[in-house]
Amino acid sequence: MDRLTNPIRPYAWGSTTAIPALLGTAPTGEPQAELWLGAHPGAPSHLDRGPLDAVIAADPVRELGSRVVGAYGPHLPFLLKLLAAGAPLSLQVHPDLAQAREGYAAEERAGIPVDAPHRNYKDANHKPELICALTPFDGLCGFRAPAASADLIAGLGVDSLKPYVDVLHAHPEDAALREVLTAVLTAERTAVAETVAEAAAAATRLGGPYAPYAQLAHHYPGDPGVVAAMLLNHVRLQPGEALYLGAGVPHAYLDGLGVEIMANSDNVLRCGLTPKHVDVPELLRVVRFEATDPAVLRPEASPSGEEVYDTPAPEFRLSRHVLAADATPCDVTAPGPQILLCTAGRVTAGELTLAQGESVFVPAGDMAEISGANGGSGTLFRATVAI
């Protein structure tokens, strides 16, 4: 196995302190939003042997195993991250696999540069994802029942929002959610900004269930995404709890530190809370207009002590090991590639000792045993492929 050196992405919404605190480094004063662990060509991890994407490309069967290469080609099918939100991320949704392939092909035919700011599809892959909280973690996930959204919005007492309340009460679920989201995102921007300002003042005054939306308006004054966000469920995860987000589910992370894993894609369609491009027609094609009860995932323990976060995504499998000082070493050898990340204490992986924030890449089939290190305990997250 090989130690990894992992790049940090300095997105504006990132916390200035959370990732440095976990890594044991001094804050720079700049946002440190995501630590990427993987082989994404935009920011690959590095080994002593070179960038991980280049190492895999040189001998994909050796690094990934024949089953993974057969299923996903010569590419690591997942991307692991530490995500540290110091401010809300954009309200967004991801396409399913067919939509991604179709959208990517259409933009390629149109000759839109892949780095163009108005491009929707950076690749032809879908992006199911799982976020597991390391600290209390706030997010928005999936549509509320229309009647519940109507009651929440009506409670603000803002006259210009009353038409949305009426639609949410009067129409079937799919039609109501579609009509309101479309109206919010296509409304005249000056009128929207005035409505958001009035709603923000009411939300600040009322607090309680309105507090997350007051926070959004503080970070994104006048943004129509503030109203759109009131259609979504607010979720607070405690450390160790997780959320799985499939295709078409609108969501936004608001605050906290977590371990995130996803299919190796960068396809995002934004609904608001961003200065970036919002393609409303394409967004409406991708969003699933159905109310959901966001299911908070808790890990399922196996006899070996591995705690698995079960999802339907075949590209990845995330698990956690809480390793006691005196526990018998656990064999985690796997037929596919693995990334092991220590998030607390110290652990031993093979012959290497990992401190908090350190990680390794384990090629397919390589022997891997993990345990607490030097008489101490530690927590290790294990990312693999679910085949």
Catalytic positions: 270
C-alpha span between 13 and 234 (Å, rounded)? 19
- Encoded tokens for 188: 């005249």
Reduced DSSP (H G I as helix, E B as strand, rest coil) percent helix, strand, coil of the chain, to 5:
30, 30, 40
C-alpha span between 169 and 177 (Å, rounded)? 10
Whether the CB-CB separation of 33 and 14 falls below 8 Å is answered with yes
- Which contiguous run of DSSP H or E holds residue 280? helix 280-286
SS3 for 161? helix
C-alpha span between 3 and 48 (Å, rounded)? 8
Indicate the burial class of 33 (C-beta count within 10 angstroms; 0-12, 13-18, 19 or more): buried
Encoded amino acid at 316, one letter: F
C-alpha span between 37 and 8 (Å, rounded)? 9
Whether the CB-CB separation of 199 and 216 falls below 8 Å is answered with no
Encoded amino acid at 166, one letter: D
C-alpha span between 9 and 82 (Å, rounded)? 10
| Residues in contact with 285: Cβ distance below 8 Å, sequence separation at least 6, in sequence order | 99
Q: From the centroid of its chain, how far is CA 174? A: 25
Interhelix angle 211-219/189-206, nearest 10 degrees: 140
| Residues in contact with 229: Cβ distance below 8 Å, sequence separation at least 6, in sequence order | 91, 140, 212, 213, 216, 252, 272, 273
C-alpha span between 37 and 18 (Å, rounded)? 17
Whether the CB-CB separation of 122 and 57 falls below 8 Å is answered with no
Whether the CB-CB separation of 243 and 234 falls below 8 Å is answered with no
